[in-house]
């Protein structure tokens, strides 16, 4: 007989949001409690002093905050596009915050009243501190904190190695991103795109992100060890998952070998097989729909040619390991998804 349901801690990413909307309903309201990063740290440190929780050590705290930033930015933008989110300043007294939440809910339930706030833009300054660094190894941490966090890291890394890991390989216009979202929603996997991880990293203001920014400005490639390190961090942070769906990695055979050495062997590699003509047609259609004029026919073909050149050795490498599962990506999205589900179900 409840008048409504308040859900905390879910969704953690866009895939979970899509799954919820598909299987249950679209939420009536999303309240984002925005708080400066340094304030979150202070509160967690205070909680650690009061409660003595082992997972509130400095290293674990920083990792959770980093994961929150990475997941929250795309999630908030998703709800902004759907005009569902209201951002409230949580860097205030609890009673003040609660009052604003109550008024917001009242305005949602009784729309004749003047709304306190509409769907709002995410203020990145509330998430990112210019002085905040993601370098969490500090000599000032005491020995007990180090031992606790190292033990925790070992357990988390072991869980990552045991999880199902799927690489998905497909060219531009193969429908890879659409399928990734559907796979993640159906199976509870965490979708990790190296492109998204890199873009999120650039927003963090860390020493590593500054190094990457300088490389990008000089039009230099980001070193493989940076990409693998960021990917590993993202996987370790995603502890509550059924598995990992990784796209954009590996870019060459050596990256695949390093992944196995540093993390684990993939459970399978989904190869979205699609002809150059089909990919070109789809990309042209996307450009016309979106009004994008940046990608000319020549540019599109260069992207496709580069994809074939880079991917061929990777496909052969994983064929030799009997991990490749070829998907006919020429078909419509539903038919492609059905193929993928059959493959995943057969290997589980």
Residue 329 CA to residue 326 CA, distance in Å, equals: 9
How many other CB atoms are found less than 10 A from the CB of residue 224? 16
**The domain 14-128 belongs to what CATH superfamily?**
P-loop containing nucleotide triphosphate hydrolases (3.40.50.300)
Which contiguous run of DSSP H or E holds residue 117? none
The three-class DSSP label of residue 133 is coil
Tell me which of 7-16, 175-184, 204-213, 314-323 is least confident: 204-213
According to DSSP H, which parts of 238-325 are helical?
253-262, 276-290, 297-320
What pLDDT, in 10s, does the model give residues 312-347?
999 999 999 999 999 999 999 999 999 999 999 998
Tell me which of 74-78, 139-143, 160-164, 210-214 is least confident: 139-143
185: CB partners within 8 A, 6+ apart: 15, 16, 18, 19, 22
| Cα dist from 221 to 213, 232, 302, 310, whole Å | 11, 19, 18, 15
Q: Give the pair of three-digit tokens for residue 303.
A: 């992207």
Residue 231 CA to residue 249 CA, distance in Å, equals: 9
User: CA 85, 87, 90 angle in degrees (round to 5)?
Assistant: 140
Which contiguous run of DSSP H or E holds residue 263? none
Task: Pinpoint the residues of the chain covered by CATH 3.40.50.300.
Answer: 14-128, 149-347
Residue 185 CA to residue 19 CA, distance in Å, equals: 5
Top-tier CATH class for 149-347: alpha beta
What pLDDT, in 10s, does the model give residues 48-106?
777 766 556 677 777 777 777 777 777 888 888 888 888 888 888 888 888 888 888 88
pTM recorded for the entire structure: 0.59
């Amino acid at each position: 007989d409840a008048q409504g349901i308040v859900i905390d801690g879910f969704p953690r990413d866009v895939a979970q949001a899509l799954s919820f909307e598909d299987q249950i309903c679209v939420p009536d309201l999303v309240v984002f409690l925005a708080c400066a990063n340094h304030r979150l740290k202070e509160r967690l440190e205070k909680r650690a002093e009061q409660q003595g929780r082992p997972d509130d050590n400095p290293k674990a705290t920083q990792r959770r905050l980093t994961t929150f930033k990475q997941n929250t930015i795309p999630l908030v933008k998703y709800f902004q596009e759907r005009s569902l989110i209201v951002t409230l300043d949580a860097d205030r007294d609890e009673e003040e915050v609660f009052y604003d939440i109550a008024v917001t809910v009242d305005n949602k339930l009784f729309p004749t009243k003047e709304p306190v706030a509409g769907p709002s833009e995410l203020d990145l300054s509330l998430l990112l501190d210019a002085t905040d660094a993601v370098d969490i190894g500090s000599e000032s941490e005491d020995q007990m904190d180090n031992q606790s966090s190292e033990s925790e890291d070992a357990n988390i890394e072991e869980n990552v190695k045991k999880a199902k890991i799927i690489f998905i390989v497909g060219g531009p216009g193969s429908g890879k991103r659409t399928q990734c979202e559907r796979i993640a929603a159906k199976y509870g996997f965490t979708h990790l795109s190296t492109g998204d991880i890199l873009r999120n990293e650039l927003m963090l203001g860390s020493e590593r992100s500054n190094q990457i920014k300088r490389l990008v400005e000089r039009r230099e490639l980001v070193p493989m060890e940076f990409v693998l390190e960021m990917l590993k961090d993202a996987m370790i942070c995603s502890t509550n998952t059924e598995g990992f769906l990784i796209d954009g990695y590996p870019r060459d055979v050596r990256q695949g070998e390093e992944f196995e050495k540093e993390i684990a062997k993939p459970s399978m590699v989904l190869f979205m097989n699609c002809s150059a003509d089909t990919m070109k047609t789809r990309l042209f259609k996307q450009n016309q729909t979106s009004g994008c004029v940046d990608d000319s026919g020549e540019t599109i073909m260069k992207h496709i040619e580069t994809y074939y050149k880079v991917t061929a050795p990777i496909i052969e490498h994983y064929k030799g390991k009997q991990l490749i599962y070829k998907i006919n990506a020429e078909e419509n999205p539903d038919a492609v998804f059905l193929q993928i589900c059959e493959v995943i179900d057969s290997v589980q």
